[in-house]
Structure 1
Amino acid sequence: MKKLILSLIVTIMLVPTSVKADEGMWFLMFIERLNHRDMQKMGLQLTAQEIYSINNHSLKDAIVQFNGGCTAEMISKDGLVLTNHHCGYDAIAEMSTAEKNYLKDGYWAPDRKSEMKPSSLFVRFFVRMDDVSKRILEKVNPSMTELEREAAVNKEIAVIEKENNEGGKYTVSVRPFFQGNEYYYFVYQDYKDVRLVGTPPESLGKFGGDTDNWEWPRHTADFSMFRVYADASGNPADYSTSNVPLQPKHHLPVNLGGVKENDFAMILGYPGRTNRWMPSGGIEQNVKFAYPAWVEGSKTGMDNMKKYMNQSDALNLVYASKFAGVANYWKNRQGMIDALSKFGTAKSKAKQEEKFNKWANLPANKAKYGNVIGNINKFYGLTNEKARHDNYLQQLFRTSAFGTVGRTVGKQLENYAKADAAKRTQMAPAITEMVDEMFKELHIPAEKDILAAQLKLYATKSKGYAVAPMVEKIGKENNYDYTNYVNTLFDSSIFTSKEKVAEFLANPSEATLTADPLYVLSNDMLTHFTTRSEAITKAQNDFGSSFRLLVEGLRESKIGTIKYPDANSTLRLSYGKVRSLPADKRNDAKVNNYTTLDGQVKKYKKGDQEFDLPVRLLEMHKNKEFGRYADKDGSLHVNFLSDNDITGGNSGSPVLNGKGELIGLAFDGNIEAMAGDVIFDKKLQRTINVDIRYVLWVIENFSNAKHIVDEMTIVK
């Protein structure tokens, strides 16, 4: 019998030479052993040490996680950061007003003093990583429950993180891989003084809107720029006018040569989450129960936001960021339903599990693996209807500013009411600031409509699993029309205006808070959401250990062929080629691996929210004012395709050529391969990228901000 845990070092020796180069999100520390030879054959000209080195500067020093959810890259010696427009959207919206609407009109700082600091924005540099699998797994044993195991693991993680943070200088994160069969720690350094340098107008940065989202051909300038500041010694520092631009260890040179079919393409970034070990029951649950509820709940929230966003620029700014985030996943989840259904992914997984189950029940394996598939299937059978219920409720929480108020502002007010006078004096400013920020992103009439509509959807559609008691009671009393109830709720709650909260801070009362109807409703829903029956709790415990054993057994038996860990917001590298999709009459490009400004202008619809274009761009297109950024064919290329393996979180990742030079900016995937988080489609899966030449043309030629381009290291 093999050991319980197979370390990644051992599996390296087992990697077949036939692994597809375009599939996989790989650890940088293993590139030399796992991938370097394949990458060289495809066009890589860098050594493994030039990609990842602890002691010398390397590509990894130019890649940052942007505000915890996207990727960005350093592109000048003075701390200039490039990421997607949709990644900078929150910050741009925050800096905007109805009078100075940078989201709508764009902005380019004429000098360093004009760069603007959002209230909360940070970038995270990756310092190093290491394997601590053996150390952590020595602390657990098979007789532990999942909660006991989690407690033991977390205790050791806390020790490891403290050992490596150098007194708080670094942020250390220990993460599980292969479903808890391996553990690695990651050391990061965070910089919090990050300022907006520039953004194209929304008509370019978000051209195509929701209609084109996840679609090819695309024609969008999905980019924005920021700058990282540090103290005089280059260390992280809170915002100060005395801070100076960070001098990064490495910044990416920018190549203006363009791309062609089969050119090598490498992406480094922070992919958020893949689930390529997900059992067939989980896929089936998502397709039939969870995702349809997600889609319907998202659409309900979006429709009610949009009614008010269309009324004025000011209201559009209030909901722009939330709407964009909800809309992105609304289309993504529908695309996943369609793709997973079309390709029969659950059936393919089920066949693999049948094969595994036969292996698992061989005499030598039965004691350890025999119940794995049964436990997994039992869990999904028990939780299918709850998954539907939870997704309706989650979209209520996500789209309503007041759905979770019981655990956010409500919890703060609860602690405030219980505190003594001295403690209250300390707490009040933070609570006031929290409330001020909350009310910047809501409009009470819209919030009433959102909450009433979401309550109705949740109460009437989640019938296979009991809804929250209070929601059900109010629904029955009002024929499931929550409009009057919500109006009364908002009139009587202390949470629906800054003035009411301020009055509570002046005269705190636990009795007033615990009787507040919005506080009670929110806590009723939140408590119900987190409650598990004994049967589900038991099944969940068995599922946790069984899923871990499934992954271990699939690797041990070689029935599973995946050699890279699932994405989990840690730095990864993917590599492949510039690669076209089959010819598409919607794209006028000679090869269906790029789009042009000609194609963008053909989509132009004057006054249309998604497809309008600036007059200046139309004039420049007419006069072919492309300057040094024109392709050899005379056109201006806008976006291009590669077959890199990415997912959410890779937004803003640099696309690099074989020399490590920047050729594009990843921003999307294609709808045909939306099953990619679960299974990689070698034929259809593509990454959609902004051509770096279009980025620079928008900055220098369209926006007259050549001083920004002059900072960069340009390679022709």
Structure 2
Amino acid sequence: MKLAVSTAATIALLVGAAHADEGMWTIDNVPTAAIAKATGFTPDAKWLKKAQLSYVRLAGGCSGSFVSGEGLVMTNHHCVADCIAELSSADKDYQADGFLAKTRPEEKSCAGIEINQLVEITDVTAQVEAATAGKTGQEFANARRTVLADIEKNCAGGDAKLRCDAVTLYQGGRYNLYKYKRYQDVRLAFAPEAAAASFGGDPDNFNFPRYALDMSLLRVYEDGKPIKSPNHFKWSTEGSKEGDASFVIGNPGSTSRLRTIAELEFVRDNVAPSFLFFAQEKRGRLIEFGRENADRNREAFDDLNSIENSIKVWKGRQMALADKEFFGAKVKAEQELRAKIAADPKLAAQVGDAFEQIEKAQARYVQLYQRLIHLERMRAFDSVLAMNARLVLRAGDERLLPSGQRLREYGDSRLPALKQRLSNPAPVHADLEVALLTFSLTKFREQFGPDDALVKAVLGKQSPDQVAAAAVKASKLGDPAERLRLFEGGKAAIDASDDPMIKLMRVVDAAARAARKSVEEEVDAVVEQAQARIAKARFALYGDSVYPDATLSLRLSYGKMQGWTELDGTEVKPYTTIGGLYERDTGAFPFDMAKSWDDAKGKVNMATPYNAVSTNDIIGGNSGSAAINAKGEVIGLVFDGNIHSLSGDYGYEPKRNRTVMVDVRGMSEALRNVYGAQHIVKELGLK
């Protein structure tokens, strides 16, 4: 499968203004003139402010939006899959059966979900630059960490209901402070069956036509009552038609469109192959685990879906970077940018050897990467219990330091979210834990060899399965009360603990920290300083007509409802219908229709639009984003991209890159005539 990419469009990413429909624009720098030209609508300050306050972010990487005045939040089913799994049991499986709260008291707590509402954006570039001026390497990394932590701490002011994130934009060319209202009492109001939400499964993932109801509804509470949410997106009763404008509001996770060729080569040659080898073997282990019995299948369900999605994403990225036309366009784009810089003596002096510094840093990264990914990023310890142990162990050490000197995730402004994570009562499945930890420890030994000092320290004279089984079965960290006891007790309590998972994490913590420190100082600090110089030159050449790479911060994308033409001439229409769902049903996984839909066959309108595509420019993290029209009404719920969107991490291809969404009319029809959720229909303002 070849990912066709427009060379001209790719070059525009680095050396000129964005192509029509392209871009994930920060909400405080929206290209209103370009939007007006492309859609006929000019978003004013009032429209943008309402969009900002109606949007929410789900801690963990998904997007969502308020859709009623009573705290009702719309997001994807796959964004709340962990909550659904946690609420499920052998007696009541909400993954298989779906969930509908008919009254507010029946809504069930999603203890692991935190919702953030963006209330303020502040440019803090001058503060960061002043704190880091003249510093390099370790000194720069320390100064940057300290100033960002201090900015976040001062913003939150010790208020646990606020979250403040200092975000790097343009690879260090600009820093924005995002201030959020934090909500930690979030409850599930509605979720369809997994068979409906992910109809088509992995074969349909990143494809279209689609027939999935990947939606769910949460409700935000405060002080035991649903919050009032006057800023919200109403659901459209008319929906959309081909050619209509579509605006997507959400927080795309990360892109690499402004990165240098040296950085992209590192991803192509190191990151992608390493991940794919590991992930594909892990998928096989999960499949085999799930075949044991029904309980194990349920326990592995979410992990399997997640890893299958990640595999397809990284295959797409790898193919894009290996595509000669695509990568050649990126090389040409960088060459043209460098030529423009060289032609201007002032810019040339400012940029200096920035590109060469990045190349050297990537060469060093090759040497450091495997230790970083296995130890600091926990590939060698693929276990919920191990991660709990890491969090508790480091919390004890880090909280002895001033906030600005800690690892950023342990700064004062981040502690409320950490505490909520540790208090999550989600069950830990011991058999799955043993299977995954055994696998990851085996791969750890395979990567570094049995004679490696750290491998010996971890395994001793035991096998990976013996170490995993002993640690999992004896650990008490599956109990949130024990995790909180240790967290609240601080270092003294943690040091006194004989929990085997904490002991295991203590064995590797110094090496993990060292791996992180080396990358932060020898790679990240070097690249960020060099990229900041390049970013300033880019600003001088093009101003802010170039959007920053995605950073999990609020973005707006504009486009229109439109299908595409495949390379073989096949026309792909922009809408599917509910009738197509019934035609696609085979009765066998993953194309087996949910029973509620089978029962509703005589009640639903088969002509109702169900899924749709648009030209909006999105990436991972946009899951759960609302697609709205010019009136600020929901016309769809983003849940995927098509296969051509998989190169979107590195460039936007306007001819075939498409956003995939659940059409608002399909969601409305499902709530009315499949699930009998008339109270929700009424709350959404529908008839």
Cross-structure match for 1:177: 169
Cross-structure match for 1:291: 272
Verify: 1:441 aligned to 2:428, yes or no: yes
Q: CA deviation at 1:615?
A: 3.8
Cross-structure match for 1:613: 593
Is residue 298–residue 399 contact of structure 1 (8 Å, CA) maintained in 2? no
Give the alignment partner of residue 249 of structure 2, picking from 268, 272, 282: 268
Cross-structure match for 1:7: none
5+ residue gaps, structure 2, are 1-14, 400-417
Cross-structure match for 2:136: 145
Cross-structure match for 2:363: 381
For the residue of structure 2 that corresponds to 1:613, the secondary structure is coil
Task: Report 1 or 2 for greater relative contact order, CA contacts < 8 Å, sequence distance ≥ 6.
Answer: 2
Partner Cα distance (1:158, 1:451) in 2: 33
Is residue 215–residue 671 contact of structure 1 (8 Å, CA) maintained in 2? yes
Aligned-pair Cα RMSD in Å: 4.0
1:547-586 correspondence runs (5 A): 547-557=531-541, 563-582=546-565
Seq. identity, % = 25
Is residue 339–residue 672 contact of structure 1 (8 Å, CA) maintained in 2? no
Partner Cα distance (2:182, 2:425) in 1: 25
1:483-502 correspondence runs (5 A): 483=465, 486=468
1:72–1:618: structure 2 CA closer, same or farther, 3 Å change rule?
A: same
Cross-structure match for 1:638: 610
Q: CA deviation at 1:150?
A: 4.5
Verify: 1:545 aligned to 2:529, yes or no: yes
Q: Which amino acid aligns with 2:103?
A: D
For the residue of structure 1 that corresponds to 2:256, the secondary structure is coil
Cross-structure match for 1:39: 35
1:405–1:301: structure 2 CA closer, same or farther, 3 Å change rule?
A: farther
Partner Cα distance (2:189, 2:478) in 1: 34
Partner Cα distance (1:510, 1:254) in 2: 50
Partner Cα distance (2:298, 2:397) in 1: 31
5+ residue gaps, structure 1, are 1-14, 231-236, 417-430
TM-score, structure 1 as length reference: 0.80
Give the alignment partner of residue 231 of structure 2, picking from 250, 265, 274: 250
Per-residue Cα deviation, 1:14-57 (whole angstroms, up to 9, x for no partner): x98x74231111122333xx32x33234445564123223xxxx
For the residue of structure 1 that corresponds to 2:262, the secondary structure is helix
Partner Cα distance (2:38, 2:162) in 1: 36
Cross-structure match for 2:126: 134
* Worse overlay, 265-274 or 182-191: 182-191
Cross-structure match for 2:604: 626
Q: Which amino acid aligns with 1:40?
A: A
Q: CA deviation at 1:337?
A: 0.9
For the residue of structure 2 that corresponds to 1:399, the secondary structure is coil
Verify: 1:30 aligned to 2:29, yes or no: yes
Per-residue Cα deviation, 1:145-186 (whole angstroms, up to 9, x for no partner): 244344444555556546654773643333221122212222
Give the alignment partner of residue 49 of structure 1, picking from 45, 66, 73: 45
Cross-structure match for 1:234: none
Is residue 73–residue 654 contact of structure 1 (8 Å, CA) maintained in 2? yes
Cross-structure match for 1:450: 436
Q: Which amino acid aligns with 1:200?
A: P
For the residue of structure 2 that corresponds to 1:250, the secondary structure is coil
Q: CA deviation at 1:386?
A: 3.6
1:411–1:607: structure 2 CA closer, same or farther, 3 Å change rule?
A: same
Q: CA deviation at 1:93?
A: 1.8
1:447–1:66: structure 2 CA closer, same or farther, 3 Å change rule?
A: closer
Cross-structure match for 1:660: 632
Per-residue Cα deviation, 1:571-592 (whole angstroms, up to 9, x for no partner): 11110111112269999xx952
Partner Cα distance (1:130, 1:534) in 2: 31
1:538–1:102: structure 2 CA closer, same or farther, 3 Å change rule?
A: closer
Cross-structure match for 2:303: 322
Kindly name which structure, 1 or 2, has the bigger radius of gyration based on alpha carbons: 1
1:40–1:372: structure 2 CA closer, same or farther, 3 Å change rule?
A: closer
Partner Cα distance (1:617, 1:283) in 2: 45
Is residue 600–residue 673 contact of structure 2 (8 Å, CA) maintained in 1? no
Q: CA deviation at 1:655?
A: 0.6
Is residue 86–residue 426 contact of structure 2 (8 Å, CA) maintained in 1? no
Is residue 262–residue 362 contact of structure 2 (8 Å, CA) maintained in 1? yes
1:410–1:212: structure 2 CA closer, same or farther, 3 Å change rule?
A: same
Verify: 1:93 aligned to 2:65, yes or no: no
Partner Cα distance (1:219, 1:548) in 2: 44
Partner Cα distance (1:497, 1:109) in 2: 28
Cross-structure match for 2:351: 369
Q: CA deviation at 1:526?
A: 4.5
Per-residue Cα deviation, 1:200-254 (whole angstroms, up to 9, x for no partner): 1111012122222222222100000111223xxxxxx3xx3xx2x2221222222
TM-score, structure 2 as length reference: 0.83
Verify: 1:305 aligned to 2:301, yes or no: no
Q: Which amino acid aligns with 2:45?
A: Q
1:685–1:442: structure 2 CA closer, same or farther, 3 Å change rule?
A: same
For the residue of structure 1 that corresponds to 2:249, the secondary structure is strand
Give the alignment partner of residue 331 of structure 1, picking from 312, 316, 321: 312
Is residue 574–residue 645 contact of structure 1 (8 Å, CA) maintained in 2? yes
1:309–1:335: structure 2 CA closer, same or farther, 3 Å change rule?
A: same
For the residue of structure 1 that corresponds to 2:186, the secondary structure is strand
Verify: 1:69 aligned to 2:61, yes or no: yes
Give the alignment partner of residue 698 of structure 1, picking from 659, 670, 676: 670
1:365–1:694: structure 2 CA closer, same or farther, 3 Å change rule?
A: closer
Per-residue Cα deviation, 1:426-474 (whole angstroms, up to 9, x for no partner): xxxxx99999968822223x333322322333333468xx996232688
For the residue of structure 1 that corresponds to 2:565, the secondary structure is coil
1:117–1:586: structure 2 CA closer, same or farther, 3 Å change rule?
A: farther
Verify: 1:604 aligned to 2:575, yes or no: no
Q: CA deviation at 1:298?
A: 2.1
Q: CA deviation at 1:303?
A: 2.7
Is residue 565–residue 656 contact of structure 2 (8 Å, CA) maintained in 1? no
Partner Cα distance (2:301, 2:650) in 1: 30
Q: CA deviation at 1:293?
A: 1.5
Partner Cα distance (1:510, 1:258) in 2: 55
Give the alignment partner of residue 622 of structure 2, picking from 640, 647, 650: 650
Cross-structure match for 1:595: 576
Give the alignment partner of residue 115 of structure 1, picking from 89, 107, 113: 107
* Worse overlay, 188-197 or 153-162: 153-162
Cross-structure match for 2:411: none
Cross-structure match for 1:9: none
Is residue 380–residue 444 contact of structure 2 (8 Å, CA) maintained in 1? no
Is residue 284–residue 346 contact of structure 1 (8 Å, CA) maintained in 2? no
Cross-structure match for 2:445: 459
The number of equivalent residue pairs is: 647
